[in-house]
A and B are shown apart, each in its own frame.
Chain A
Amino acid sequence: MTETSDHEHLHQYDPGHEHPLQADQDDSITYFKVMEAAVRNLLIEKKLITAEQIREKIEQMDARVPANGAKIIAKSWVDLEFKRKLLANPRKAIAEFGHDIGPLHLIVLENTEKVHNVVVCTLCSCYPRWILGLPPDWYKSREYRSRVVREPREVLQEFGTNISLDREVRVHDSTADMRYLVLPMRPKGSEGMTEDELVPLIGRDAMIGVTEVTV
């Protein structure tokens, strides 16, 4: 996908230009964008949904960012009782952070000196989106979905992650009803850090399992 929300280059256009702006896919009209607008208009006209509801959903979507997951991970590093709860009953533990996972199931996978976990959805794009937000493009790509279950160590290397051969690599295939969150290992050198200091170290990719957390 090549879309971008960067509109900077539009300023290069001559305001008197007669042609519609096509350069940025975000501003071009495609068949499926027309379809979205048509379906949305029809649903609003039939009083099934409102424009306000769409805006609210998008606001909720925008509020779901990987930092939400990072806070959960950081707490589990400094609070062993919380970590125990997170592994035993993820739904209940993340509810403390205000995240409601609805009818879905969540499993938290703990990385250790012996095991490294990585998550995929080979059939589509299932992802713990209420914690991490929308998945990155590569997570939904043919290349990642095909290969990570076949040659996980090679795929991890493409992300700059070398898992030593004495550590087992486990790949977890998500379903619509079953989502996974990786609990990365707390990095060496972070022993003196507080929970708040740890949060920014924990990136989205480490919670998918394609990277490890470093100081």
Chain B
Amino acid sequence: MERDFTARGNHDMGGLTAGEINKNEHDYALWEKRVDAIMMLLTNDLKIMTVDQLRKGIEALPPDAYDKMTYYERWISSITNGLVEAGVISTEELRSRMAKVSSEPLREKES
């Protein structure tokens, strides 16, 4: 099926109908704060990425992925895409490093 270019993006939800607001909150996990910190360093300190690039990467996610992923999962996926696009890291480097990290014991508590 051809894409409908006149349809609004999945992220563009203002004014749509939706259910009751879930007011439960979670404390941000350390890994989520690290994603945020990486983004701040890339934008404010290194100027390798912009907030608009982050947003564009998030908005480009397929609707089902966007809805299924948590907030900082969207962020890290967009950041990673941005870094690959900018040539800062290669997909091969990423693939092998992710395999290495997965094979290691819990690293959550480090740093």
Interface residues of A (CB under 8 A from B): 1-6, 20-21, 25-27, 29-30, 32-43, 46, 48-49, 51, 53-55, 57-58, 61-62, 102, 120, 122-125, 134, 136-138, 140-147, 149-150, 155, 158-159, 173, 176
Q: How far is the CB of B105 from chain A (nearest CB, A)?
A: 9
Q: How far is the CB of A125 from chain B (nearest CB, A)?
A: 7
Residues of B within 8 A of A38 (CB): 94, 97-98, 100-101
Partner of B27, one of A5, A33, A144: A5
Query: Are the CB atoms of A36 and B14 closer together than 8 Å?
Result: no
Q: Within 8 Å of chain A (Cβ to Cβ): is B6?
A: no
Partner of A123, one of B14, B22, B107, B111: B14
Query: Are the CB atoms of B36 and A26 closer together than 8 Å?
Result: no
Residues of B within 8 A of A6 (CB): 27
Query: Are the CB atoms of A40 and B36 closer together than 8 Å?
Result: no
Query: Are the CB atoms of A41 and B101 closer together than 8 Å?
Result: yes
Query: Are the CB atoms of B45 and A42 closer together than 8 Å?
Result: no
Q: Give the complex CA separation of A145 and B13 in angstroms.
A: 7
26 A-B contact pairs sorted by A residue (CB < 8 Å):
A1-B70, A3-B70, A25-B29, A27-B108, A30-B73, A32-B72, A36-B31, A36-B34, A36-B38, A38-B94, A39-B83, A40-B111, A42-B93, A48-B46, A48-B48, A53-B45, A122-B13, A124-B11, A124-B58, A125-B71, A138-B25, A142-B13, A142-B18, A145-B14, A159-B21, A159-B23
Q: Give the complex CA separation of A119 and B96 in angstroms.
A: 43
Query: Are the CB atoms of B21 and A54 closer together than 8 Å?
Result: no
